[in-house]
Amino acid sequence: MLALALSLFPVVYSTPLVNSEPRLNARADTLPQPGQPTTVDASLIGGFAVVGTSGVSAQQLFLGDAYHVYILDKVESNPLPINDHSAWATVYDLRTNIATPLDVRTNTFCAGGGLLADGRWLNIGGNKAVEPGAVTNDDPASQAGQNPYSDVDGRNTARFITPGDGAQWQNDPTLDMTTQRWYPSVETLEDGRMLVMGGSKDGAFVNNLGINNPTYEIWPPAAGESVVDSPLLAGTLPANQYPITHLLPSGEILINVNHNASLLNYQTGGETTLPAVPHAVRTYPASASSAMLPLSPANNYSATVMYCGGIDLQDGDWLAAGKSLIDIEADKSCVKISPQQSHDWEEEDYLPEGRVMGNAILLPDGTILVVNGANKGVAGYADATQPWNRDDSLADSPLFTPVIFDPSRPAGQRWSRDGLKSSTVARMYHSSATLLPDGSVFISGSNPHADYSPDKTFPTEYAVEIFYPPYYNKRRPEPAGIPTTISYGGASFDLYLSKDDLNSDATNTVKKIKIVLARTGFSTHALNFGMRNVELDYTYQLQTD
């Protein structure tokens, strides 16, 4: 007999754990041993399969639990009905590949979101109520829901849901924000509350002084807490919506906005200015891919954040008359920063081609998948001042083939398409993606239009795809002893692996084991708020008889 006992040491991150079909329960306070996921045809490895439809276009989505992906759209004329009006939210059941409409009532257009400490998911902010044709009627009655969609102004709204069969979106008006936010960023803090940052008070292609909301707040607020002004957000117009935020192990928040960056101490309000971000704008509408690289014992849990793609524009370019942004090729540079070690930016291997609106997804093997997006143009859909659009879209040349970044490989060799296949679905503005419990990736959305548009060059898209990474059909470990919950820090816990979980060279295999916690994040606009990959430290004891 060969067996392995691992003692693992939690770090100060928290995540809900999910498992596949149960087989054996080691203790009452542990999860059943995970089984093996159903393998797929070898032709799908490294590629995509369309498995269902989302019901509404997946402008925003998140994995709520092992079986449910929650999808949010803006209010528009989706054919799927609920309560005598078009739906703009669904729950997608991974067991059946069926989307069921959910009623939200307030307009979730370009809201933010994240995971709360108690297991609920928050969706916060949005835009004014609209009527068919994406028409905004500022009459108070229409904004209060007396319109064909029955939708309500959502700019202040805090919505939440506890995932599970039959779960519904809830709203307690006493918990709504005191300020209006469209395109806000959301970051889960150490205490499980949310930092909600930036955005604008009304809709526009890019932000401006009249609608800018250059503040942040903690939700829900504690006694004495209120909205705080941010010099960074006040000074970075116009491309400062959806600031790219990452909570660092130090407790500071790294913020990337337009060409600028800073470290925020949200407890004191202090902002430390960092050097300008090289090469390109990374925030919306440039919409670069971004991710915190995996945190591990090898890097002493010191954070490095990487940004790839975007577009090289100056502040005056965004609204310049006659400037055709759709003809500008996206940037392919990648830069990174490790702010706990140095405030200097470092060059990283460049993308194979420029990309905007690409989702960076942390995979469980420590690599990063970049999928979705386009090679030319910017995020958004056209208004009357942008005649250079392509059937409303401000981007062109969709990128159908993903690419994978491996930070463990030597410089110059970190990006690869080996074994990867192309999708058949263009994923443009308002596409989203998330990691699933079986290690595959859920992809949906694309809707560069003000309202439901099924016949345009890049139509309102409902197709749900699953991407199967190269590792997908390989045998998975089946550890016994996975705890039902993991707290912040705390005592070590034990896992047990059998000989079937190790190869014939067990003595060396045990030195290479990685035990990873994955928080999949809230996906929207090429961002996955709160996404993390944290490798636990461990000791081991190898037993043979």
| pLDDT (tens digit per residue) in 94-123 | 999 999 999 999 999 999 999 998 999 999
Arithmetic mean of pLDDT over the chain: 94
Q: In what order do the strands lie in the sheet with 158-161?
A: 112-115, 121-124, 158-161, 170-171
Q: pTM surpassing 0.75?
A: yes
CA distance 55 to 76: 12
Each residue's pLDDT tens digit, 227-278: 999 999 999 999 999 999 999 999 999 999 999 999 999 999 999 999 999 9
In contact, 17 and 482? CB cutoff 8 Å: yes
Instruction: Choose among 104, 76, 147: nearest CA to 454.
Output: 76
Query: Distance (Å, rounded) from C-alpha 533 to C-alpha 366?
Result: 8
How far is residue 171's CA from residue 527's CA, in Å, rounded to a whole number? 24
| pLDDT of 1 above 60 | no
In whole angstroms, what is the distance from residue 121 CA to residue 103 CA? 16
Out of 23-32, 47-56, 243-252, 382-391, least confident range: 23-32
First vs last Cα of the chain: how many Å apart? 5
State residue 28's pLDDT score.
56
Burial class of residue 355 (count of CB atoms within 10 Å of its CB; 0-12, 13-18, 19+): buried
- How far apart are the C-alpha atoms of 84 and 81, rounded to whole Å? 6
CB of 356 closer than 8 Å to CB of 395? yes
Q: Determine which of 119-128, 326-335, 484-493 has the lowest per-residue pLDDT on average.
A: 484-493
Supply the pLDDT for residue 439: 97
Confidence band (pLDDT; 50, 70, 90) for 543?
Answer: confident
Average pLDDT over residues 186-199: 96
Model confidence at 507, pLDDT cuts 50, 70, 90, reads confident
**Three-class SS state of 340:** coil
The CATH code belonging to domain 2-544 is: 2.130.10.80
- How far apart, in whole angstroms, are the C-alpha atoms of residue 313 and residue 335? 17
Residues with Cβ within 8 Å of residue 286, at least 6 apart in sequence: 239, 280, 310, 311, 313, 331, 356, 378, 379
pLDDT at 490 over 80: no
Residue 279 near residue 221 (C-beta atoms within 8 A): no
Measuring CA to CA, how many Å separate 288 from each of 23, 264, 403, 443, 453? Answer: 42, 21, 14, 17, 25
pLDDT of residue 506: 83
Over 50: is that where the pLDDT of 23 sits?
Answer: no
Q: CA–CA separation, 204 vs 359, rounded Å? A: 23
Helices and strands counted in the chain (H then E): 3, 40
Structure-model confidence comparison of residues 2 and 508, the more confident one:
508
Q: What value, to the nearest 5°, has the Cα angle with vertex 495 and ends 11 and 491?
A: 40
Judged against a pLDDT cut of 90, whether residue 387 lies above it is answered with yes
Question: Is 177 a residue whose pLDDT tops 90?
Answer: yes
Measured CA to CA, the distance from residue 47 to residue 173 in angstroms comes to 44
Instruction: Say whether pLDDT at 482 is over 70.
Output: yes
pLDDT band (50, 70, 90) for residue 454: very high
| pLDDT score, position 7 | 55
Q: 278 preceded by cis ω (within 30°)?
A: no
pLDDT at 219 over 60: yes
Tokens of 44: 């799908």
Overall average pLDDT of the 48-62 stretch: 99
Share of the chain above pLDDT 70, in %: 95
DSSP 8-state assignment for residue 350: P
pLDDT at 4: 54
**Cα dist. 201→178, 209, 225, 248, 522 in Å?**
12, 10, 21, 28, 22
Judged by average pLDDT, the poorest of 31-40, 260-269, 313-322 is 31-40
Q: How confident is the model at residue 12 (pLDDT cuts 50, 70, 90)?
A: very low
How far apart CA 72 and CA 432 sit, in angstroms, is: 10
Cβ pair 87, 76 in contact under 8 A: no
Determine the average pLDDT of the residues in 496-509: 85
Q: What is the pLDDT of residue 26?
A: 40
Short-list 266, 192, 267, CA closest to 232: 266
pLDDT the model gives residue 502: 86
The reported pLDDT for the residue numbered 391 is 98
d(CA 533, CA 296): 9
Tokens of 343: 């405030």
Distance, CA of 456 to CA of 503 (rounded, Å): 52
Q: Rounded distance, CA 108 to CA 157, Å?
A: 9
Report the 10 Å Cβ neighbour count for 22. 11
List C-alpha distances in Å: 342 to 262, 268, 337: 13, 22, 7
Which residues share a beta bridge with 416?
Answer: 404
Give the mean pLDDT of 72-91.
98
pLDDT score for 419: 98
Q: Of the candidates 300, 68, 282, which has an alpha carbon nearest to the alpha carbon of residue 165?
A: 68
| Under 8 Å between Cβ of 464 and 445 | no
At which residue do the structure tokens 């014992």 appear?
A: 297
CA distances (Å), origin 446, targets 73, 89, 209, 395, 439: 10, 15, 29, 12, 23
Which of 33-47, 403-417, 427-441, 482-496 comes out lowest in average pLDDT? 482-496
- pLDDT surpasses 50 at 15: no
Mean pLDDT of 335-346: 98
Residue of 21, 95, 2 whose CA lies nearest to 52 = 95
Residue range 498-523: average pLDDT?
89
